[in-house]
């Protein structure tokens, strides 16, 4: 792998840095103080091309590739959490699942709108009864003539309360285990029997809602099915390989932001008549943060690079997700340490990043789940990439 950025990758990064300078830095404090989802911000990000690196122009993208998408996600999370969070919804998991598994009509209808930020998407897999054991889901979809009837609920769905489109996973054959799971594209407008309730939770930002979704005899047309009946689990797992690059890419943005803030603070703060950066203990802390950030960075870029080349990348994505998850927790903790009491002040985003790092470690397959997958893969018992199609 070439460690230098290609012209496209450098351009994508510059585009994100420019957007962060003009649209994020002057506004994030006000947005966090006000709270609430900002649809116009997503549309602005879409219009700037933030969500389009994985898709060709025909589907509203810019085709810059997965490494470019990682660079954009990293810079947007480095700028602020509310601009770092919506990528799985608009640029990776939801549009990617449709792009890879949809009919030509589904692709034409949904992918360009998601990438443009005009349609808000969400990924409906986790249920109140559990997320790690996705095959145990209880939500049912029963075929009745030219409709499916959906009953059940989903939990912790990012942007679920504001989404126009749900990529929903439900069982069409409850006796068939994971082979009984199917995927559906559910339009939420005027959807009878559907409700979404925001969950009160501390995730590091007040601008990205997370919701519990409820379906009571919700009817959707049969052409809402994505992929074939029974293909949903495989579709979810192979899509999560993309998500497992997207999640640590955003963690990397947190790591870099914390390193930037720690360096700045160590140069400004004075104790015992010296800048605290003059104490070797603080220098070592910054060195640890730097080394862990760079190690995470190259694991993430490697996974994205393999995906971009059309090579299997699920194993590399799990390694990146696991390692970066641990590293970013350490880095945010060290950043808090360097900031002393001020780490807890709202004026600095350090504590919010610390909280968000913890969320990223859990979502899209917790640290334990990544270790389970990697252990089985390395022993040769169950290959992580078996779901890649
Ligand atoms: C802010 C936020 C946003 C989210 N957004 C989405 C979203 O948009 N869409 C979506 O579908 N989901 C979403 N999730 C859900 C997330 O993916 C799940 O929380 C995660 O998969 C873990 O599932 P769980 O919470 O049910 O925990 P559980 O599965 O109940 O796990 C609890 C603990 O047990 C451990 N554990 C479970 N099974 C094993 C095992 N076999 N071996 C070892 N340890 C195990 C886990 O590692 C964890 O520490 C979101 C979660 C949060 C917090």
List the residue whose alpha carbon is closest to atom 43 of ligand 1.
368
- For residue 364 and ligand 1, the question of a CB distance below 6 A is answered with yes
3-class DSSP state of 349:
coil
Determine whether 63 is exposed, middle or buried from the number of CB atoms within 10 Å of its CB (0-12, 13-18, 19+).
middle
How far is the centre of ligand 1, averaged over its atoms, from the C-alpha of 365 (Å)? 6
Q: Which atom of ligand 1 is nearest to the CA of 133?
A: 29
316/212 Cα distance (integer angstroms): 31
Blockwise average pLDDT, block size 10, the chain, 389 residues: 89 97 95 95 97 98 97 98 97 98 98 98 97 96 98 98 98 96 98 97 96 98 97 96 97 98 98 98 98 98 96 97 98 98 92 96 95 97 82
- For residue 322 and ligand 1, the question of a CB distance below 6 A is answered with no
How far is the centre of ligand 1, averaged over its atoms, from the C-alpha of 48 (Å)? 32
How far is the centre of ligand 1, averaged over its atoms, from the C-alpha of 146 (Å)? 34
Domain with CATH 2.40.110.10 in the chain: 121-230
- For residue 372 and ligand 1, the question of a CB distance below 6 A is answered with yes
**So what's the pLDDT on residue 3?**
83
Residues with a catalytic annotation lie at: 364
56/64 Cα distance (integer angstroms): 8
Beta strands in 258-358 (DSSP E): 270-271, 274-275
Is beta strand 165-171 parallel, antiparallel or unpaired with respect to 121-124? parallel
Hey, which of 86, 91, 363, 371 would you mutate to test ligand 1's pocket, going by the most ligand atoms within 8 Å of its Cβ? 363
Torsion-angle region of 21 (φ positive above 0: left; ψ -120 to 50: alpha; else: beta): alpha
List the residue whose alpha carbon is closest to atom 52 of ligand 1.
156
Q: How far is CA 374 from the centre of its chain?
A: 20
Hey, which of 128, 132, 157, 205 would you mutate to test ligand 1's pocket, going by the most ligand atoms within 8 Å of its Cβ? 132
CATH of domain 7-115: 1.10.540.10
Rg (alpha carbons) of the chain, rounded to whole number: 21
Domain with CATH 1.10.540.10 in the chain: 7-115
**So what's the pLDDT on residue 241?**
95
How far is the centre of ligand 1, averaged over its atoms, from the C-alpha of 361 (Å)? 9
**Residues near 173 by beta carbon (within 8 Å), at least 6 away in sequence:** 179, 180, 229, 230
- For residue 123 and ligand 1, the question of a CB distance below 6 A is answered with yes
- For residue 366 and ligand 1, the question of a CB distance below 6 A is answered with yes
**So what's the pLDDT on residue 54?**
98
Q: Which atom of ligand 1 is nearest to the CA of 368?
A: 47
CATH of domain 121-230: 2.40.110.10
**So what's the pLDDT on residue 388?**
66
List the residue whose alpha carbon is closest to atom 29 of ligand 1.
132
164/196 Cα distance (integer angstroms): 12
Which superfamily is assigned to 233-387 in CATH? Butyryl-CoA Dehydrogenase, subunit A, domain 3 (1.20.140.10)
């Amino acid at each position: 792998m070439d460690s230098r950025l290609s012209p496209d990758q450098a351009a994508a990064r510059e585009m994100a840095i420019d957007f962060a300078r003009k649209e994020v830095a002057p506004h994030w404090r006000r947005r966090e103080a006000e709270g609430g989802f900002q649809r116009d911000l997503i549309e602005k990000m879409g219009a700037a091309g933030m969500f389009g690196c994985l898709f060709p122009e025909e589907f509203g993208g810019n085709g810059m590739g997965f490494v470019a998408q990682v660079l954009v996600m990293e810079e947007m999370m480095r700028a602020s959490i509310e601009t770092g969070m919506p990528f799985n919804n608009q640029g990776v998991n939801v549009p990617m699942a449709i792009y890879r598994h949809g009919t030509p009509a589904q692709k034409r209808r949904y992918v360009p709108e998601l990438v443009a930020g005009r349609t808000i998407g969400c990924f409906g897999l986790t249920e109140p009864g559990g997320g790690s054991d996705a095959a145990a889901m209880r939500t049912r979809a029963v075929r009745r003539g030219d409709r499916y009837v959906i009953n059940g609920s989903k939990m912790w769905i990012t942007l679920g309360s504001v989404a126009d489109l749900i990529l929903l996973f439900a069982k069409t054959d409850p006796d068939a285990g994971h082979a009984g799971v199917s995927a559906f594209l559910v339009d939420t407008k005027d959807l009878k029997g559907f409700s979404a309730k925001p969950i009160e939770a501390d995730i590091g930002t007040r601008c990205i809602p997370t919701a519990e979704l409820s379906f009571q005899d919700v009817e959707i047309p049969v052409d809402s099915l994505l992929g074939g009946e029974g293909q949903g689990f495989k579709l979810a797992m192979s899509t999560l390989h993309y998500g497992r690059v997207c999640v640590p890419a955003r963690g990397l943005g947190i790591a870099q932001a914390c390193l930037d803030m720690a360096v700045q603070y160590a140069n400004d703060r004075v104790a015992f008549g010296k800048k605290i950066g003059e104490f070797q203990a603080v220098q070592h802390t910054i060195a640890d943060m730097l080394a862990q950030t760079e190690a995470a960075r190259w694991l993430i870029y490697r996974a994205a690079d393999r995906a971009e080349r059309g090579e299997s990348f699920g194993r590399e994505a799990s390694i990146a997700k696991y390692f970066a998850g641990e590293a970013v927790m350490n880095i945010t903790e060290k950043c808090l340490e360097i900031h002393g009491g001020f780490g807890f002040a709202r004026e600095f985003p350090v504590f919010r990043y610390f909280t968000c790092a913890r969320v990223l470690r859990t979502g899209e397959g917790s640290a334990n789940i990544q270790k389970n997958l990697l252990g089985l893969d390395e022993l040769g018992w169950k290959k992580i990439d078996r779901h890649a199609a």
